[in-house]
Amino acid sequence: MMEDQRDFQAALAAGTTLANTGALASDCIDEQHAVLIPEGYHLEDLEQFQAQPRRTRQRVAIHNATDFGRYVNRFKDAATTIYADLENTRFTAVLDHPAPSEPAWGDHRATYACPHSRSWKTWTAADGKAMRQADFAKFIEDNLPDVQHPNGSDILTISRTLEAKKKVDFQSGVRLDNGEVQITFNEEIQGSAGKGTIEIPETFTLGIPVFEGGDHYELTARLRYRINDGQLAMWFDLLRPERLLEDAFANTLTQIQRDLGDDVMMIHADAPRG
């Protein structure tokens, strides 16, 4: 009891000293309520016991551009600032952004990260990576719906032919006048040797969305191959996929500006966001 009484007296004395120095004056803490806790003599904010918080502290991840616009329109004011980050394909709205003459905490934010579509991630992840011909054939067959030209049946025939030629000796490849590549191979069937060819297109065209739920874009892929000690490796190189990414981002920016106004700031990925 004596120890508790000493703690109480010490807390009372400390509180009196702080009050006398103005440390708890309402003009210093903006009429916010706090209590002095004896142990360690620290201030405990009582905001959690109020009917509502003093300010919004919320970071919301929005999954499409339309809902991003709806959310920002619901909470924005004259100081709200919206940033567009092309490098990270992200839009960020700082809803309680500091105004020139009125500082703010910047704790209320909404972000739309422009999630890439499954097809875009699949094809860009495999871009430029050599595969055995059977693995390449399986990849093409698994993602056949994304191929727009040549037509699906032609691509399927080529992929299955490649997959079937696992135990052959590939010799050479030549470019034909029709824009295709002819690959020559030697194959032994039932004790007799035979020679055959496989014709593959030099390029094929994809039709895929860049962002989830976004417009489809045509993307050209150039087929590549390498023959080493009779083994065939194949891959594809996507032609300027970054241009489609920039175009898809620009279209999203246009939609957001249509929903929220033209005051959207383009920033570098390392730039501060308020």
Q: Where are the domains of the chain?
A: 2-49, 58-115+248-267, 118-239
- In percent, the amount of the chain with pLDDT more than 70 equals 70
Q: Is 224 exposed, middle or buried (0-12, 13-18, 19+ CB in 10 A)?
A: middle
Going from the C-alpha of 233 to that of each of 161, 163, 204, the distances in angstroms are: 14, 12, 18
**How high is the pLDDT of residue 229?**
80
Q: Are 114 and 61 in contact (CB under 8 A)?
A: no
**How high is the pLDDT of residue 115?**
95
Q: What is the pLDDT of residues 5-47, one digit of tens each?
A: 555 555 556 555 544 444 444 444 445 565 556 666 666 665 5
56 pLDDT more than 70: no
**How high is the pLDDT of residue 23?**
45
Q: Are 194 and 188 in contact (CB under 8 A)?
A: yes
What does the alpha-carbon distance between residue 82 and residue 109 come to, in Å, rounded to a whole number? 10
Q: What is the pLDDT of residues 82-110, one digit of tens each?
A: 999 999 999 999 888 777 677 766 678 89
**How high is the pLDDT of residue 227?**
81
67 pLDDT more than 90: yes
Amino acid at 259: D
Among 16-30, 156-170, 187-201, the least confident range: 16-30
| Nearest Cα residue to 131 out of 238, 232, 237, 230 | 232
Binning pLDDT at 50, 70 and 90, where does residue 79 land?
confident
| Average pLDDT value for residue range 175-199 | 70
Taking the CB of residue 132, how many other CB atoms lie within 10 A of it?
15
What does the alpha-carbon distance between residue 41 and residue 39 come to, in Å, rounded to a whole number? 5
Binning pLDDT at 50, 70 and 90, where does residue 236 land?
very high
**How high is the pLDDT of residue 105?**
67
Could you say which of 3.30.720, 3.90.1690, 3.30.390, 1.10.20 is the CATH number of the domain covering 58-115+248-267?
A: 3.30.720
What does the alpha-carbon distance between residue 214 and residue 65 come to, in Å, rounded to a whole number? 10
Binning pLDDT at 50, 70 and 90, where does residue 258 land?
very high
194 pLDDT more than 50: yes
